[in-house]
């Protein structure tokens, strides 16, 4: 509960970020998230340093950005020492695609919680990246694959407050099935007695 209520999307991230080995270790835990058929319909592409600049250049070229706009795109991709792009890789037709996307989403959130528990910060990003055909090609996406977004990962500034959020009031989001049935059962009983 502490990890869930203290995790935040961190806008400002510095080093260190997990290395490839630590990222893979945390991903092993995150991959235990619900996944109908245990398909693992996802993969990650990790970008660091110049890799992020190349992705920024790719997005700038595709959009016809001028020099200033291109630098802004590169700067956006340098906001964190590690950018982890999530590639959705659907596996067959036996499990519906929406369930496979749900599995990838559950895994991503589990990874964010594990990163947070380990002392790292992260933020989920979508935007231009997920719509870019050039980025998909640069990142080596195959037929049927698509980018779902990316995680910016690093270390949050020590001054950032991470107070425990008060739990949200959610009781209006829960309905007991018996409460749904009661009016219908009474109406049905009334109809039977009238007959």
CATH code assigned at 135? 3.40.109.10
Residue 56 lies in a domain: yes
Residue 190 within any structural domain of the chain: no
User: Two tokens at 10?
Assistant: 């961190």
The number of folded domains in the chain is: 1
Q: Kindly state whether residue 158 falls inside one of the protein's structural domains.
A: yes
Q: Is residue 185 part of a domain?
A: no
173 in a structural domain: no
pLDDT, tens digit only, all 195 positions of the chain: 888 888 889 988 999 999 999 999 999 999 999 999 999 999 999 999 999 989 988 998 998 988 898 888 888 888 999 999 999 999 988 999 999 999 999 999 999 999 999 999 999 999 888 999 999 999 999 999 999 999 999 999 887 667 777 888 998 999 988 888 876 655 665 566 565
The answer to whether residue 172 sits within a structural domain is: no
Question: Strands 82-88 and 42-47, how do they pair?
Answer: antiparallel
Q: Which domain holds residue 8?
A: 2-162
Give the Cα separation of 155 and 167 in Å (integer).
Answer: 25
Among the listed residues 96, 90, 179, the one whose alpha carbon sits nearest the alpha carbon of residue 143: 90
**64 assigned to some structural domain:** yes
Whether residue 41 is contained in a domain is answered as yes
């Amino acid at each position: 509960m502490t990890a869930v209520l203290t995790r935040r999307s961190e806008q400002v991230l510095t080093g260190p970020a997990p290395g490839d080995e630590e990222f893979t270790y945390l991903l092993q835990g995150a991959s235990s998230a619900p996944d109908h058929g245990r398909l693992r319909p996802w993969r990650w592409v990790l970008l660091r340093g110049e890799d992020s600049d190349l992705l920024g250049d790719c997005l700038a070229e595709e959009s016809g950005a001028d020099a200033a706009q291109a630098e802004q795109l590169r700067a956006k991709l340098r906001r964190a020492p590690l950018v982890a792009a999530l590639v959705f890789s659907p596996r067959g037709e036996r499990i519906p695609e929406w369930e496979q996307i749900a599995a990838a989403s559950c895994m991503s959130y589990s990874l964010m919680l594990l990163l947070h528990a380990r002392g790292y910060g992260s933020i989920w990003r979508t935007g231009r990246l997920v719509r870019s055909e050039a980025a998909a090609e640069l990142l080596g996406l195959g037929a049927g694959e698509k980018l779902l977004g990316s995680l910016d990962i690093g270390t949050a500034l020590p001054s950032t407050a991470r107070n425990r959020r008060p739990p949200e009031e959610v009781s209006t989001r829960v309905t007991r099935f018996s409460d749904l049935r009661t009016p219908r059962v009474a109406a049905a009983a009334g109809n039977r007695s009238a007959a």
